Each structure stands twice: as structure tokens, then as C-alpha cells.
């Protein structure tokens, strides 16, 4: 665990720096908000549309594909770290794993999940 203490320290320090920058700039800037300044941007006219609108189903499809293949890379990492210990056995196993993923990849490609028409 002591290996990973620096990450926490680094992240805490890095969070403190922007916070300091944030409050320092308060010394030089004006602060006079009003209703018009604080309204949402809409090219100069009064806002008519709601912000929460329906999103294209394509976004969800991409998200699902991403999940599968991101888990793939997450699964590759422990193997790659233990590469020397697992030796040829691990290599064959990861080859089979990649082959199965390639089959799935070919399937989504042939089904047209990658085309947006």
C-alpha cells in the first residue's frame, strides 16, 4: 500500500493548487450579477427550449460497445503485469480471449452497429 501513498498525496496537492488560484482571482475581479447576465445562452433571444432533451439512441449503442472493449483492456492489464509468471500458458489464454473478442467485433461490424445511417 505504501507504494500508492504518493498518488493520494499528489492528488490532494493538485486539488489544493486550483483552489488557491480560484480564490486569489477574487481580489481583482468585479462581482455584480443580475438576472440577465445569469440567464442561459441563447443567441440573444429569450430561452425557449428545455435543456433536457432526448439524445440519439446511437450514443447508447456506442456506450455499450465501449463498455465491452474497455473491460477487455482492463482484463489485458493484469495479464500483462504477470506476463513473465504466466509464460506460454497465459499467452495462449490471452490469444483465445482476444480471438473471441475479435469474433464479437466482427459481429457488431457485420450487423451495422458501426454505421450511423
Partner 1 sequence: MDVIKVAFFVLVFPGFLFQFVMAAALEWMDRKLYARMQNRVGPLYTGQSGFLQPVADLVKLFAKEDLTPAAADKFMFNLMPLVALAAVCASGLLVPLWPIKPFTSFPGDIIVDAYLLAIPSFALFLAGWFSSSPFSLIGASRVLTQLFAYEVPFFLALLTPAVIAGSWQITEIMAFRWWEGPWWSIALRMVGQTIAFGVAVTCLQAKLERVPFDAPEAETEVVAGPLTEYSGKKYGIFRLEKNILMYTGAALVAAVFLPSFPIGAILGGIWLIAKTLVVVAILSVIRASFARIRIDQIVVFSWKYLAPLSLLQFLVVLVLKAQQG
Using CB under 8 A, which of 75, 85, 88, 96 touches partner 1? 88
Q: Binding of partner 1 at residue 21 (CB under 8 A)?
A: yes
Helix (H, G, I), strand (E, B) or coil at 62: helix
3-state DSSP helix/strand/coil % of the chain, to nearest 5: 70, 0, 30
Decide if 81 contacts 59 (C-beta within 8 A).
no
Distance separating alpha carbons of residues 35 and 42, to the nearest angstrom: 14
Q: Binding of partner 1 at residue 11 (CB under 8 A)?
A: yes
Which residues sit at the interface with partner 1, rule CB under 8 A? 3-4, 6-7, 9-11, 13-15, 17-19, 21-22, 25-26, 28-33, 35, 37-42, 49-53, 55, 58-59, 62-63, 65-66, 69-70, 72-73, 76-77, 80-81, 83-84, 87-88, 91, 94-95, 98, 102, 105, 109, 114-116
Amino acid at each position: 500500500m505504501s507504494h500508492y501513498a504518493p498518488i493520494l498525496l499528489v492528488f490532494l496537492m493538485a486539488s489544493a493548487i486550483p483552489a488557491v488560484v480560484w480564490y486569489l482571482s477574487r481580489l481583482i475581479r468585479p462581482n455584480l450579477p443580475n438576472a440577465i447576465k445569469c440567464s442561459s445562452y441563447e443567441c440573444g433571444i429569450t430561452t425557449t427550449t428545455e435543456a433536457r432533451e432526448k439524445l440519439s439512441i446511437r450514443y447508447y449503442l456506442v456506450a455499450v460497445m465501449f463498455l465491452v472493449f474497455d473491460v477487455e483492456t482492463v482484463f489485458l492489464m493484469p495479464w500483462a503485469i504477470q506476463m513473465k509468471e504466466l509464460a506460454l500458458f497465459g499467452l495462449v489464454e490471452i490469444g483465445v480471449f482476444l480471438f473471441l473478442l475479435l469474433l464479437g467485433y466482427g459481429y457488431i461490424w457485420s450487423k451495422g452497429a458501426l454505421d450511423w445511417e
